[in-house]
Each structure stands twice: as structure tokens, then as C-alpha cells.
């Protein structure tokens, strides 16, 4: 608990500096998302800070994953999905016509609920993004990127001897860390994680959470989670979604200890959800 207290204090310091340093990474204004006729996200305003872990919590179907997917335009792949409003990444609207969603997704990486390694070797899984975006000039550089990413994904020691074995042969927790390493390899600025631990056992979850905490030094991490303990453990900022509305957004410590909205309180104390 002391460490959490430290984080909170540290966080408050950060926040005071925010205003002058303006380290807001993503800023969403009046975002609406529709699936066909269904209004999935209503009027969401949120500012996500750089080098911070932001957790989205809320009951199933509250729209937190939908909102997450609209941050890197993954919703574009769904035909009936429509997004309105503004989402600014470094003060540039990502839904602007001039923005190429493919380039955007290279900048805003994503890790999914279920580990989804490609049916390729571990090496090729990691090298996939760098190859597509031409990040390595030669084989040696690519090897270097692969090793660096796997190290940052905290899985290097487990796979260094079998880089050319299929990625699908790893265990669930290893696969998820491989997917995180794969997302890191393209050097994104923001990392979106959609319930990254929901398919993992407690040990693998702990490993991934530790990893998320380390990633904070380089990236802005947004994580959707069903586990409130997880949100409390890994995040500095928490947003609570309910029925498509962003009910409350603030410091994690504050949300969990002193929520302002009665719905937030009901949810974190287990009365709704």
C-alpha cells in the first residue's frame, strides 16, 4: 500500500506539471460511436497522458472496448461501425481524412484479449511489424530489434533458444507476452490493451502486469480490464464506463478510495456490474 501511496503522490506531482508541460497524449472530445443504430459510446471526453497507465473499467457491454478500439481506428474494419467527434493524438485528429489508419495503427499499437500470435515462428512474429514498416536496414538490425523487443516483453529468456519454433507452440501467458513484444517491436507511442490478461492464469497475469508497469517508462498504455484489482495494481489513471457513458475519470487511488459518482461506488463495491 505504501508503494501505491507513493505512486499517487508522484502522480499528483505529475499532474501539477501537466498544465505547463502539456503531456497529454490522446484527447477525446464528444466522441460518439454507433454500431448500426445502436449508440454504443455517448459523449465521451477524456484526456490520456503520456507515460502513464490508464485503465478503463466498467461492466460488460459498457463500451470500454469499443472506445479503446476507436483510439487506433480498429473499428474501421467493422462495416456498420461509425465514429463521430474528435480524437486528437498529439493534437492531430485521427479521424481526419488526411490520416492514414494504417500509419496510425503503427503509432498506436494494440494487444488483444486472446493471445493471437501469427502462425509463424517466434522470430517472424516479432519481425512482422518492423519488416512491414521498414524499420531495419539489414538482418543484423532486425535481429537486434527482435531481441530488444523480446527482452522488453520479458520473454527473451524463455524463447531465446527457439526463436524459429512456431509462436503458436508457446503457453498462453508466453503467447500474450509475445504479442506484447510484437506490438512493441513497431515502436508505437501508445499501447492499447484490450483485457490482456483475461485468458491467462494468475502467474502469467502477474508477469504481464509487471511488464505493463515497466512499459510505462516509454509508452502511454491504455488497458481495458474487468478486474478492478488489476486496474488498481497497474494503473495511475482510471476511467469508469457505464452504459456507453464515461461516468468518472481520475486518479486511480481516488476512484477506488473516494469515488465521486454513486454509480462508480456501486460498481467498485460490487453492487452493479
Partner 1 sequence: MSLLNLLLLILVVAALGYFIGRSRALKSAKGDQAALHSRPHHYGWNVAIFASLPALLVMVAFVLLQALVVPNSVLKEISPELIESTGSRSLVMTQVQTISNGLEAAVENGLIAEENIATLDVQTADVRALIQEAGVVLGADVNAEMLESAKTLKDRVKKWSFIRNILIVVISLAGLIYAIIRTNKDFRARNVVENSIIALLVAAASIAIFTTIGIVLSMTFETLRFFELYPASQYFFGTQWAANFRGGSALGVLPLLWGTLYISLIALAVAVPIGLFAAIYLSEYASPLMRSVAKPTLEVLAGIPTIVYGLFALTTFGPFLLGLFGKGGALGVEWMADGRSVLTAGIVMGIMLIPFVSSLSDDIINSVPQAMRDGSYGLGATQSETVRQVILPAALPGVVGAILLAASRAIGETMIVVMGAGATAAIFYESPDRFINPFEIMTTITTRIVAQLTGDGAFNSPETLVAFALGLTLFCLTLMLNVYALYIVRKYQERYV
Contact stretch for partner 1 (CB under 8 A) within 37-45, 51-59, 71-79, 196-204: 71-79
Give the one residue of 186, 205, 225, 238 binding partner 1; rule: CB under 8 A.
186
For partner 1, the closer of residues 87 and 268 by Cβ is 87
Please give the Cα distance from 94 to 194 (Å, whole number): 20
Rg (CA), the chain: 18
Spatial CA neighbour of 238 closest among 255, 226, 259, 260: 255
Q: Residue 51: CB partners within 8 Å, gap ≥ 6?
A: 23, 216, 217, 218, 219, 220
What track of x and - describes contact with partner 1 for positions 108 through 137 (by CB under 8 A)?
-xxxx-x-xxxxx-------xx--xx----
Distance, C-alpha 7 to centroid of its chain: 19
The reply on whether position 182 binds partner 1 by CB under 8 A is yes
Told to check if 79 binds partner 1 by CB under 8 A, we report yes
Q: Establish if 35 lies at the interface with partner 1 (CB under 8 A).
A: no
Q: Looking at 59-67, 105-113, 139-147, 222-230, which segment touches partner 1 (CB under 8 A)?
A: 105-113
CB of 14 to partner 1, least distance (A): 28
Give min distance, CB of 170 to partner 1, in A: 14
CB of 124 to partner 1, least distance (A): 9
What are the strands of the beta sheet with 38-49, ordered from one edge?
A: 92-93, 81-89, 24-35, 38-49, 245-251, 237-242, 53-57, 220-224, 190-194, 108-111
261 Cβ partners below 8 Å, 6+ apart? 240, 247, 248
Should residue 226 be labelled a site residue for partner 1 when binding is judged by CB under 8 A? no
CB of 13 to partner 1, least distance (A): 33
Q: Which of 23, 168, 198, 254 binds partner 1 (CB under 8 A)?
A: 168
CB of 179 to partner 1, least distance (A): 7
**Is 49 one of the binding residues for partner 1 (CB under 8 A)?**
no
Count of residues interacting with partner 1 (CB under 8 A): 30
Reading phi first (left if > 0) and then psi (alpha if -120 to 50, else beta), residue 271 is in alpha
* Tally of CB atoms within 10 A around 156: 17
**Per-residue buried b or exposed e for 79-97, using 16+ beta carbons within 10 Å of the residue's own CB:** eebebebebbbeeeebbee
The least distance separating partner 1 from the CB of residue 102, rounded to whole angstroms, comes to: 5
CB 266 within 8 A of CB 272: yes
Q: Which residues bind partner 1 (CB under 8 A)?
A: 72, 74, 77, 79, 102-107, 109-112, 114, 116-120, 128-129, 132-133, 166, 168, 179, 182-183, 186
Amino acid at each position: 500500500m505504501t508503494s501505491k501511496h507513493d505512486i499517487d503522490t508522484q502522480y499528483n506531482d505529475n499532474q501539477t506539471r501537466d498544465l505547463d508541460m502539456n503531456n497529454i497524449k490522446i484527447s477525446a472530445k464528444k466522441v460518439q460511436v454507433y454500431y448500426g443504430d445502436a449508440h454504443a459510446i455517448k459523449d465521451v471526453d477524456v484526456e490520456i497522458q503520456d507515460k502513464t497507465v490508464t485503465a478503463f473499467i466498467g461492466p460488460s457491454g459498457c463500451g470500454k472496448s469499443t472506445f479503446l478500439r476507436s483510439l487506433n481506428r480498429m473499428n474501421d474494419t467493422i462495416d456498420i461501425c461509425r465514429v463521430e467527434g474528435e480524437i486528437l493524438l498529439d493534437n492531430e485528429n485521427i479521424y481526419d481524412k488526411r490520416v492514414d489508419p494504417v500509419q496510425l495503427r503503427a503509432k498506436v499499437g494494440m494487444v488483444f484479449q486472446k493471445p493471437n500470435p501469427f502462425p509463424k515462428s517466434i522470430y517472424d512474429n516479432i519481425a512482422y511489424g518492423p519488416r512491414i514498416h521498414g524499420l531495419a536496414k539489414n538482418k543484423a538490425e532486425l535481429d537486434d530489434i527482435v531481441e530488444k523487443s523480446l527482452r522488453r516483453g520479458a520473454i527473451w529468456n524463455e524463447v531465446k533458444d527457439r526463436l524459429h519454433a512456431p509462436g503458436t507452440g508457446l503457453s498462453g501467458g508466453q503467447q500474450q507476452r509475445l504479442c506484447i513484444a510484437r506490438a512493441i517491436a513497431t515502436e508505437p507511442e501508445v499501447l492499447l490493451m484490450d483485457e490482456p490478461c483475461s485468458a491467462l492464469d494468475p502467474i502469467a497475469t502477474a508477469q504481464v502486469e509487471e511488464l505493463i508497469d515497466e512499459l510505462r517508462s516509454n509508452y502511454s498504455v491504455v488497458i481495458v480490464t474487468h478486474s478492478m484489482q488489476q486496474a488498481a495494481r497497474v494503473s495511475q489513471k482510471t476511467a469508469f464506463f457505464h452504459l456507453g457513458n464515461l461516468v468518472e475519470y481520475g486518479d486511480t487511488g481516488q476512484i477506488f478510495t473516494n469515488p465521486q459518482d454513486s454509480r462508480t461506488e456501486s460498481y467498485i463495491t460490487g453492487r452493479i456490474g
